[in-house]
């Protein structure tokens, strides 16, 4: 088989760090396949600092082999520092093997750990995870997360991503507070909270989907992007829910980008339709309001109130969720004074899932008349409700060419 080639081997003698780098970019299966390239290559893959078990390890590709039987031998063969371990495989269930795998991982090298349980019961994380003091990124799906008493936090953790994770109220706030370097926190469909406390001096990004009654930001001076959405309407336990939420958000000195569902604001209207909030969101530049029904005057008025209370807002994005057309909403909007200088700073508006019904159109017309500094309005029609690609919407919003207030910047996307 030896053909007597005189050309040098181009890769096998590259420094180990380069080979490891390339190996780390290969899917695990391809990395393991390099073991048969030549004798030299038999165990090059075992020093790859990353072990990622992903969709390829779905049972349909593995044939007779079971994932649970493969992970342990691979971890045993592994040499050198293991920096990343990820297991995110379809139909993966909790099993006792997981704790055995965690036992094999060196706790002083792992920086990136992902465990994704797809089906069945949540997996109770072994205490050994809490000894991984080099962790920078932790991503958990369907686990039970309960730090042991006296746990001093992951003091290098930058990124925490929790979905469907069971948390313990008493320990979670102090856990977050102990992870002093945390920059990104994501909590999706985790345990419901009565009061969610965020004490996180380096936090820049927060995404929350679930249920809380109150949120309190203690010491979050760098938090610039917040996205909050509620998985159930039950959280709205009467008065002052919305004003508490806005009050908490107004305490964030760096908040630039905010996403809320429009209905989360409705309680602001409890004491009559507000014009302005008692607080201003001075630093807010981008506001995204989703699930906007356009069916209640309270919703519209609270949305306008929030926009007016954000003096430096440049971009507004609205995702509509309109089903019923309510006439009084259109009337209310027509009655609004359009000489509203508090909207003069707005430059861009995106209207998504736009059906073109009267309340939506009146809202857009109100913005076009009041936001005197507007440079761009992009409308993405809801394909289920709009059959002409948005042409009639555009015609209604764009006056004839001899009108000097020609809204040339309105476009359908």
Partner 1 sequence: MSSSEERKLILKSSDNEEFVVKESSAVQCLTIKNLVEDRCVSDPIPLANVDSKILALVIEFMEKHAETTLSNSEKKEFDVEFVKKPFDDLLELILAANYLDFRELMDVLCNTCAKQMENWSVEEVREKFNIQNDYTVEEEKAARAENPWAFE
Residue 325 contacts partner 1 per CB under 8 A: no
38 binds partner 1 (CB under 8 A): yes
**Closer CB to partner 1, 50 or 199, in the complex:** 50
How buried is 40 (Cβ within 10 angstroms: 0-12 exposed, 13-18 middle, 19+ buried)? exposed
Two structure tokens written together for 351: 């209207």
DSSP three-state, residue 191: coil
The CA–CA distances, whole Å, from 128 to 131, 140, 165, 298 equal 5, 15, 18, 51
The region of 34-42, 80-88, 315-323, 324-332 touching partner 1 under the rule CB under 8 A is 34-42
Residue 26 touches partner 1, criterion: CB under 8 A = yes
* Residue in 49, 50, 59, 65 binding partner 1, rule: CB under 8 A: 65
* Interaction of residue 301 with partner 1, rule CB under 8 A: no
State in angstroms the smallest separation of the CB of 217 from partner 1: 28
Q: Contact 86/52 with Cβ under 8 angstroms?
A: yes
412 touching partner 1, by CB under 8 A:
no
Instruction: For the segment 87-106, give every residue that binds partner 1 (CB under 8 A).
Output: none
Q: Which residue number, 18 or 344, has a Cβ lying nearer to partner 1?
A: 18
Q: Single out the residue of 47, 50, 59, 70 in contact with partner 1 (rule: CB under 8 A).
A: 70
CA 382 to chain centre: 23
Does 42 bind partner 1 (CB under 8 A)? Our answer is yes
Span interacting with partner 1, options 40-48, 129-137, 138-146, 212-220, rule CB under 8 A: 40-48
- Residue 304, token pair as written in the block: 């306008």
Ranges of beta strands (E only) in 136-293 are: 137-141, 143-145, 159-163, 166-167, 184-188, 193-198, 205-210, 212-217, 225-230, 257-261, 286-292
Query: Residue 34 interacts with partner 1 (CB under 8 A)?
Result: yes
| Among 1, 335, 341, 404, interactor with partner 1 by CB under 8 A | 1
Does 79 help bind partner 1 (rule: CB under 8 A)?
no
| Rounded Cα gap, residues 259 and 226, in angstroms | 6
Please name the residues in contact with 197: beta carbons below 8 A apart, sequence gap of 6 or more: 173, 176, 177, 215, 216, 218
Question: Should residue 8 be labelled a site residue for partner 1 when binding is judged by CB under 8 A?
Answer: yes
**To the nearest 10°, the Cα dihedral for 333, 335, 337, 342?**
-30
Residue 22 binds partner 1, judged by CB under 8 A: yes
How many whole angstroms separate alpha carbon 65 and alpha carbon 224?
47
CA distance 285 to 329: 27
Joined tokens for residue 413: 């996307």
Using the minimum distance from each CB to partner 1, give the nearer residue, 74 or 188.
74
Q: Minimum CB separation from partner 1 for residue 173, in Å?
A: 34
**In the bound complex, what is the minimum distance in angstroms from residue 81's beta carbon to partner 1?**
18
Question: How far is Cα 322 from Cα 360, in angstroms, rounded to an integer?
Answer: 8
Q: How far is CA 179 from the centre of its chain?
A: 19
25 binds partner 1 (CB under 8 A): yes
Q: Judged by CB under 8 A, which of 47, 54, 62, 209 binds partner 1?
A: 62
Largest CA distance in the chain: 89
* Nearer to partner 1 (CB atom), residue 82 or residue 260: 82
Q: Is residue 254 near partner 1 by the rule CB under 8 A?
A: no
* Residue (19 or 368) nearer to partner 1, CB: 19
What the block records as the tokens of 223 is 């938090």
User: What is residue 353's DSSP assignment?
Assistant: E
> 197 or 256, CB closer to partner 1?
256
What is the binding site for partner 1 (CB under 8 A)?
1-2, 5, 7-12, 14-15, 17-18, 21-27, 29-30, 32-42, 62-63, 65, 70, 74
């Amino acid at each position: 088989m030896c053909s007597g080639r005189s050309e040098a081997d181009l890769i096998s003698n590259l420094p180990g760090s380069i080979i490891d780098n390339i190996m780390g970019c290969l899917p695990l299966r391809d990395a393991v396949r390099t073991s048969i390239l030549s004798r030299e290559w038999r165990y090059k893959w075992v020093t790859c600092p990353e072990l990622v078990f992903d969709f390829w390890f779905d049972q349909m590709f593995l044939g007779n082999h079971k994932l649970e039987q493969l992970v342990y031998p691979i971890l045993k063969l592994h040499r050198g520092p293991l920096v990343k371990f990820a297991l995110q495989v379809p139909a993966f269930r909790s099993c006792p093997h997981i704790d055995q795998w965690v036992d094999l991982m060196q706790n002083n090298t792992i920086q990136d750990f992902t465990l994704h349980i797809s089906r069945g019961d949540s997996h109770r994380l072994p205490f050994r995870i809490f000894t991984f003091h080099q962790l920078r990124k932790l991503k958990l799906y369907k686990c039970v997360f309960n730090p042991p008493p006296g746990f001093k936090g992951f003091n290098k953790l930058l990124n925490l991503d929790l979905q469907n994770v069971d948390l313990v109220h008493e320990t979670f706030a102090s856990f977050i507070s102990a992870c002093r370097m945390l920059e990104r926190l994501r909590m999706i469909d985790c345990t419901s909270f009565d009061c969610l406390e965020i004490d996180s001096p380096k936090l820049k990004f927060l995404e929350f989907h679930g249920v809380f009654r109150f949120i309190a930001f203690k010491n979050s001076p760098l938090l610039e992007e917040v996205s909050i959405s509620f998985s159930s309407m039950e959280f709205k336990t009467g008065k002052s829910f919305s004003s508490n939420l806005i009050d908490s958000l107004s305490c964030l000195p760096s908040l630039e980008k905010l996403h809320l569902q429009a209905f989360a604001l409705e309680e602001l209207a409890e004491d009559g339709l507000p014009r302005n909030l008692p607080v201003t969101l001075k630093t807010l530049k981008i506001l995204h309001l989703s699930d906007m029904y356009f069916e209640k005057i309270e919703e519209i008025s609270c949305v306008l109130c929030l926009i007016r209370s954000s003096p430096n807002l440049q971009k507004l994005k609205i995702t509509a969720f309109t089903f019923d057309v309510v006439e009084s909403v259109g009337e209310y909007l027509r009655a609004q004074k359009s000489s509203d200088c508090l909207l003069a700073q707005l430059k861009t508006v995106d209207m998504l899932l736009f059906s073109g019904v009267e309340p939506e159109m009146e809202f857009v017309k109100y913005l076009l008349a009041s936001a005197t500094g507007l440079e761009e309005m992009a409308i993405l029609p809801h394909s289920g409700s709009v059959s002409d690609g948005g042409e009639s919407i555009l015609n209604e919003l764009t006056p004839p060419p001899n009108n000097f207030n020609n809204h040339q910047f309105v476009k359908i996307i």
